[in-house]
Structure 1
Amino acid sequence: MQLFDVAADAYVRFMGRFSGPLAEPFAEVGLVDVKPDAKVLDVGCGPGMLTSVLARRQGEANVIAVDPVEAFVEATAAAHPAAVVRRASAEALPFPDDTFGAALAQLVVHFMSDPAAGVGEMARVTAAGGRVSACVWDHAGGRGALSGFWGVVQRYDPTAAGERALPGSTAGDLTRLFEEVGLREVEETLVTIHLEVPTFEEWWQPFTLGVGPAGAYVDSLNQIERAGLMAAMREEYGDGPIEVHAGAWTATGLA
């Protein structure tokens, strides 16, 4: 998770503009048939975008959130004092079996060190009949929130890895993973978001904050290379406003 060992504000400025709008439709999927007073787990909560939606829908005291990054844990705990927020990885959740009515992981599976172990842990701590859900940007299909960025990068630098090969990023990946760990009645859909960034500068500046693979790539460039990439991005997108249409593969199943 070193790619995300950054200040909470940096993450919010970079990915929060996309993951915030994603949280509501993802929660709609992840809370289907979940009792309104059930305890729910937010796995890899980051600075708490999904946590906020779950707190509003389930009641803050029924929300438990975990993340391996201490800065994110502190930010989420400060924003949601009635919730339980702990530092932990998805692959080793510090909870007994059958604890939760639902477990959700937003934009996390593709960065788990062992996705099968992480989803298996989510299934373990979810009570029988409870719901386990995860979503991942459709990087492989070119519909991720950052697909446009990587498209420009790879035209100029074909060696750049991008995020297309991350686990869960292709249709059917999450379904196979869920079924492998024994989840039942698995369904996979594409959840979409749409947003508008007013200016090019507002869209570009968060890429310079070192967050995630995209931020790491920009950080790796020298001053001249970075200026060239910025110019290429401006040529691609113009001065703004910039419209973003993104989709995330979303799988849900029963424990």
Structure 2
Amino acid sequence: MSPSFSEHLGLLDLHGRAGVATLEALSPDATVPPGEATALQAAEDHWATLEIWSWSLTHPGEHWSDREDPATPAGYPALVAAIAAEIGRLGTALGQAGPDVSLDYFGRPGTTADVARLLAFEAVTMAHTTGLAAGRPALGLDPAVASDGVGQALGHWVSAQPDIVWRSRPVAIRTTDTSGVWYLSLADVDDDLAGDFRLASAESPAAVVEGSAQDVLWWLHGHLVPEVSVTGDEADVRAVKSVFLQPVEKARRPKRRWFG
């Protein structure tokens, strides 16, 4: 069973506060995995996400693009404090609104339940990455919660580009500790759309990504997770690894016979 609206609010609060605590422990120039972002850059992006949804919840019927761009809090301590304040405001606003209020959700109709789910995993991800940067033990996720995070991430990242040529067979994402399985069609191109994918119907997959829900969640976010296995046709294995920013082995070159 997927987490409820109230459970998403609990994740936002718990992991949001954990993320703030680890940000406070980091220097602004500390590197936050899995990429090369600094703690300052990660905090700025996190605050911007929280702030825009806080504004949207307090301005029903208005579109965020019509507002004046807010000034990012000046200085790292002020920025971290602003993140903590936004988490508190969001929890209150979402709790008062309930799960069924309609609002714009990335250009399509959505609800406050969609926002709560999105922000819950925004907070979960921030707490995880900053915890890694600070060398602190990660907060564990219940398999059902982690599986929900996998579904949320994949649904959020699907391509909206038209006229993409898709590979003929999908890849499957499976979680071994839940019944979760997602099928993805990958773009069959070699240009800027090569990282695009869409959700597909179930059929025999060309490649399979498999591991516990928590391990798969972080693998999809680009972290190196040795416990996650990727098996199947070589080209499709390389393609799905590339989509999710995993190291890709060089393609094998055919052996050439120079004599006889």
TM-score range, shorter chain: under 0.3
Say which structure is richer in strand: 1
Q: What TM-score do you get using the length of structure 2 for normalisation?
A: 0.25
Larger radius of gyration between Structure 1 and Structure 2? 2
Name the structure, 1 or 2, with higher relative contact order (CA <8 Å, separation 6+): 1
Q: What TM-score do you get using the length of structure 1 for normalisation?
A: 0.25
